[in-house]
A and B are shown apart, each in its own frame.
Chain A
Amino acid sequence: MTGAEAANALFVATILIYAAAMFSYAVEYAFDKRAPKRAKALVAVGGASDTDTSADVATEAPISPAAARGAGRLGLVLTFLGTAALAASIVTRVIYTGRWPWGNMFEYTVGVALAGMVTWLWLVSRGSVPRRLGLFATFAVTMVLGTSVRVYTEAGPLVPALDSYWIIIHVTAAIASSGILLIGCVFAILHLLKRSFDRRVSDGKPIRFPLNIAERLPDATALERLTFKIHVFAFPLLTFGIIAGSVWAHLAWGRYWNWDPKEVWAFIAWVVYAAYLHARVSGRSAKANAPWLAILGYAVMLFNLTAVNLVFSGLHSYAGV
């Protein structure tokens, strides 16, 4: 097996392992009825919803809570395993190309997935989030990995403009912040789901898909705080990535800021995230809308990764993608 084949085999293994982990988490999420109260860091304050909604679910679940928790533990082990396989895939690519692994869009996207999952596992290890929410993290990351397949590029040598140690600094910062913000976006969505779930419950309205998923989510306030913390952590990293990029642009293109499409959209994302951080401290209604800004911010990040690479042509266009 060549290095390229080994890297690709590990990549496929990662997706399969994550899919299995997702399934295990789903079992825990659905059948561990005690879960909302067990989550240490996210103790529900307004836990009224737990009692009155769990009653209408069949008492004779096909899987016992203990078995469901076992599935959750398996899911976590699989997540660690999948992440190790993903890291190994990247390392294998490094070994046989002999260069830093951020050379094209495929490699970038895989890096984002790794950064997202490492962030997630770190949060779980700290006890900041309950294990069963890994369902949503593995789903988001698997989606990212699935997308990356669409832009798969044979690993080759780098074009001269990329041949600089700044690729390590700039692209790593961009990948890490994208990965962390991905998890932040997941929390923002979960928060909004839980919030509207709570509102419907208190209004006595029926709960339909997708809101019924939110029943087993932690407290909405806790999810919102977690969203904020992750963005607080990622924003300086994103800022640093943009600054490092402009230092590199100065060296490679002669100008620190070119209003290249990639730069324009990075600027837009930065401004949207800045708006999010400000909205959070600007009174009640602005704070209530802040999670939408976080989601908008990630939509801009995704647009910058996909549409700007594939549709716009600019200085950041390399090797087709």
Chain B
Amino acid sequence: MTATLTPAQRKPKAAKRFRAFWRRWWHQLTAMRTALILLLALALAAIPGSTFPQRSISTVDVAGYFDEHPDLAPWLDRLWAFDVYTSPWFSAIYLLLMVSLVGCILPRLNVHWKALRAKVPDAPARMSILPYHRVLDPGADANQGRARAVLKQQRWRTAVREHEDGTVVIAAEKGYLRETGNLLFHTSIIFILVGVALGSLMSWYGNRILSEDKSYCNNLQQYDEYGLGAWVDETALPQFCLTLNAFDAEFTDGGPTAYDADVTYEADGETGEYGLEVNHPLNIDGTNVFLIGHGYTAVVTYTDRYGQTQTLHQEFLSMDAALNSEGAFKFPDVNVDPETGEVDEDAEVGFDAILVPTFDDSTAMLLGTDPELNNPVLALTAYTGDLGLGDGLPESVYSVNEDQIASGELEQVNDDVEVIGVGDSMTLPDGTTLTFDGVEQYAVLQVRHDPGGPVVLAGAVLLLLGLLPGLAVRRRRYWIRWNPDGTVETAGLNRNDFDGLDEECDELTAAIAPGFEPPGTHTDKSGSDE
């Protein structure tokens, strides 16, 4: 080699340096220490998801946070504080962790695969350097055939070596399952993540509030709320229809003890009945229907200035555990002269209402403490004017539009809240009435299809199956050597940090050499090459 390099010679050196650079980074990334830091970073990064409301859990709570902290919330939003688990920084940590994991398991798989096929290594020339070492008495009678039989019976992997000088060594190793389990554990984490990714791409769900005797069919327009994975074709959702025949809630001491929704389903021309309960979902061809909530539906009839009646079944949203619920009745097309078709002035009527399942008139409190329907009442505030439904903006079905009240388009009719029981009516100044006909129940159903779920479950089972041997099995070696001078030596080596190798080796030696007596004092050194 000449001292000066031509450019052609320098190039491979640059490439080499480039490769070395990446190799160094790769080693850095796949080092256990890096994995440790990434694990702790992942734990830290998960915390904000529990302190800030998350869009994936409740968009209502996130909106509430924006109302409460109008200055702070937009800034937090820019940092993905309301979408922590899909945020770039959270994803970055777990993707790095995954790369580190893959970088760790691939070489270990290779090493383990080779170790599984390689011969157990020979004993060191000086066996006394090993933590467990014994020289057997001449009378111990260590028999080679017996040694092989005992080791085989105890399922040690063995290698017998006969050296030229007449030395015979039997090397034995056990506990390969530890590394197998370890690798299975780490591989199954990747498996689980694949399942989670599949789920987020291919799953869909819809929530639907369904009152008794009502039906709906599975398409997105029919859901109050829904979510679709990126790969889901919304026109290809499975065809089925559901009817809620009856809903039954059981209460004991003011607390719910059982919900039972009696549903009829129709799919592919087949019909079936199912007792839908919490913890007992209905499975229709891989799509699950869950009962995730319930509430009350108030039935009211409004009689307008021309004696025309309209009946509403309005679902109410529970505000507390006693199922005190809020809702609104909106009548946008009443008070129309049936003969002329002319709409009266201030024709539209709306009511903000609170439904109290068990009203106690002996106290001054409106809200009850019992969720059961023992004395249901409606507390009503009436408004007339323009409900603002025609402007096309989405608005809550659980309250009368506040903007319309603020702008004076809607006028409050009664100064004090009017409380009426079932069968009673509230009469408005213009002579129209609202009658409380009764209360029905509704069920909140969630329909969900997640093809990633079974993959995740399989991954979780594999993870546990790998974890147990990965932690509990001990990898260790044992050697027994017949020296040319007639002496017999044994030695053992722990390949993981565990107690009890001395005792095990002594028992093994005693089984091989019946005359062997373990020394009374054990050298309490814990050998480990990890």
Question: Given A259-B85, A278-B39, A319–B47 Cβ distance below 8 Å?
Answer: no
The answer to the question of A3 belonging to the interface, with a C-beta cut-off of 8 Å to chain B, is no
Partner among B54, B205, B279, B499 whose Cβ is within 8 Å of the Cβ of A252: B279
Q: Is the CB of A45 within 8 A of B290?
A: no
Q: For residue A243, which residue of chain B has the nearest CB?
A: B460
Q: Is the CB of A163 within 8 A of B279?
A: yes
Q: Is the CB of B464 within 8 A of A243?
A: yes
The A-contacting residues of B in range 97-116, CB under 8 angstroms, are none
Question: Given A240-B464, A281-B530, A264–B36 Cβ distance below 8 Å?
Answer: no
> What total of chain A residues lie within 8 Å of the partner, measured CB to CB?
54
Q: Scan B439-452; emit 1 where CB is below 8 A from any A CB, else 0.
A: 00000001010100
Question: Given A157-B255, A225-B499, A239-B463, A164–B279 Cβ distance below 8 Å?
Answer: yes
Q: Scan A181-203; emit 1 where CB is below 8 A from any B CB, else 0.
A: 00000000000000000000000
Q: Scan B379-415; emit 1 where CB is below 8 A from any A CB, else 0.
A: 0000000000000000000000000000000000000
Q: For residue A315, which residue of chain B has the nearest CB?
A: B57
The answer to the question of A235 belonging to the interface, with a C-beta cut-off of 8 Å to chain B, is yes
Q: Scan B240-260; emit 1 where CB is below 8 A from any A CB, else 0.
A: 000000000000110111110
Q: Scan A73-85; emit 1 where CB is below 8 A from any B CB, else 0.
A: 0000000000000
The answer to the question of B33 belonging to the interface, with a C-beta cut-off of 8 Å to chain A, is yes
The answer to the question of B49 belonging to the interface, with a C-beta cut-off of 8 Å to chain A, is yes
Q: Is the CB of B46 within 8 A of A163?
A: no
Q: Scan B448-488; emit 1 where CB is below 8 A from any A CB, else 0.
A: 10100100110011011001100110000000000000000
Q: Could you tell me the distance between the alpha carbons of A160 and B279 in the complex, rounded to whole angstroms?
A: 8
The B-contacting residues of A in range 241-299, CB under 8 angstroms, are 243, 246-248, 250-261, 264-265, 267-268, 271-272, 274-275, 277-283, 286
Q: Could you tell me the distance between the alpha carbons of A28 and B472 in the complex, rounded to whole angstroms?
A: 34
Q: Is the CB of B258 within 8 A of A160?
A: yes
Q: For residue A293, which residue of chain B has the nearest CB?
A: B40
Partner among B36, B456, B467 whose Cβ is within 8 Å of the Cβ of A286: B36
Q: Is the CB of B448 within 8 A of A274?
A: no
B85 to chain A, nearest CB (A): 6
B269 to chain A, nearest CB (A): 27
Q: For residue A290, which residue of chain B has the nearest CB?
A: B36
Chain A residues with CB under 8 A of B43: 267-268, 271-272, 275, 300
The answer to the question of A66 belonging to the interface, with a C-beta cut-off of 8 Å to chain B, is no
Q: For residue B281, which residue of chain A has the nearest CB?
A: A251
Chain B residues with CB under 8 A of A283: 32-33
Q: Could you tell me the distance between the alpha carbons of A272 and B38 in the complex, rounded to whole angstroms?
A: 11
Question: Given A163-B278, A247-B457, A279-B36, A43–B524 Cβ distance below 8 Å?
Answer: yes
Q: Is the CB of B56 within 8 A of A254?
A: no
Q: Could you tell me the distance between the alpha carbons of A300 and B464 in the complex, rounded to whole angstroms?
A: 22
Q: Is the CB of B259 within 8 A of A160?
A: yes
Q: Scan B490-530; emit 1 where CB is below 8 A from any A CB, else 0.
A: 00000001010000000000000000000000001010001
Chain B residues with CB under 8 A of A45: 524
Q: Is the CB of B257 within 8 A of A160?
A: yes
The answer to the question of A144 belonging to the interface, with a C-beta cut-off of 8 Å to chain B, is no
Q: Is the CB of A232 within 8 A of B253?
A: no
Q: Is the CB of B279 within 8 A of A261?
A: no
The answer to the question of A236 belonging to the interface, with a C-beta cut-off of 8 Å to chain B, is yes
The answer to the question of B130 belonging to the interface, with a C-beta cut-off of 8 Å to chain A, is no
Q: Is the CB of A160 within 8 A of B42?
A: no
Question: Given A251-B279, A254-B205, A282-B33, A271–B39 Cβ distance below 8 Å?
Answer: yes
The answer to the question of A96 belonging to the interface, with a C-beta cut-off of 8 Å to chain B, is no
Chain B residues with CB under 8 A of A251: 279-281, 290
Q: Is the CB of B42 within 8 A of A259?
A: no
Q: Scan A131-170; emit 1 where CB is below 8 A from any B CB, else 0.
A: 0000000000000000000000000111111011010000
Question: Given A254-B446, A258-B57, A271-B39, A156–B33 Cβ distance below 8 Å?
Answer: no
Chain B residues with CB under 8 A of A157: 252-253, 255, 257
The answer to the question of B353 belonging to the interface, with a C-beta cut-off of 8 Å to chain A, is no
Residue from the set A160, A232, A275 with the largest chain B CB neighbour count within 10 Å: A160
Q: Is the CB of A259 within 8 A of B253?
A: no
Question: Given A236-B464, A251-B279, A272-B43, A278–B36 Cβ distance below 8 Å?
Answer: yes
B438 to chain A, nearest CB (A): 24
The answer to the question of A122 belonging to the interface, with a C-beta cut-off of 8 Å to chain B, is no
The answer to the question of B288 belonging to the interface, with a C-beta cut-off of 8 Å to chain A, is yes
Residues of B within 8 A of A (CB): 32-33, 35-36, 39-40, 42-43, 46-47, 49-51, 54, 56-57, 84-85, 196, 205, 252-253, 255-259, 277-281, 288, 290, 292, 446, 448, 450, 453, 456-457, 460-461, 463-464, 467-468, 471-472, 497, 499, 524, 526, 530
Which 6 residue pairs spanning A and B have beta carbons closest together?
A254-B290, A164-B279, A261-B50, A264-B50, A282-B32, A271-B43
Besides A225-B526, A259-B50, A264-B47, 8 more A-B contacts (Cβ < 8 Å) are A163-B257, A250-B453, A252-B278, A255-B450, A271-B43, A275-B43, A281-B497, A319-B255
A-B contact pairs, 9 of them (CB 8 A): A157-B253, A163-B258, A243-B461, A248-B279, A251-B279, A251-B290, A252-B279, A259-B84, A282-B32
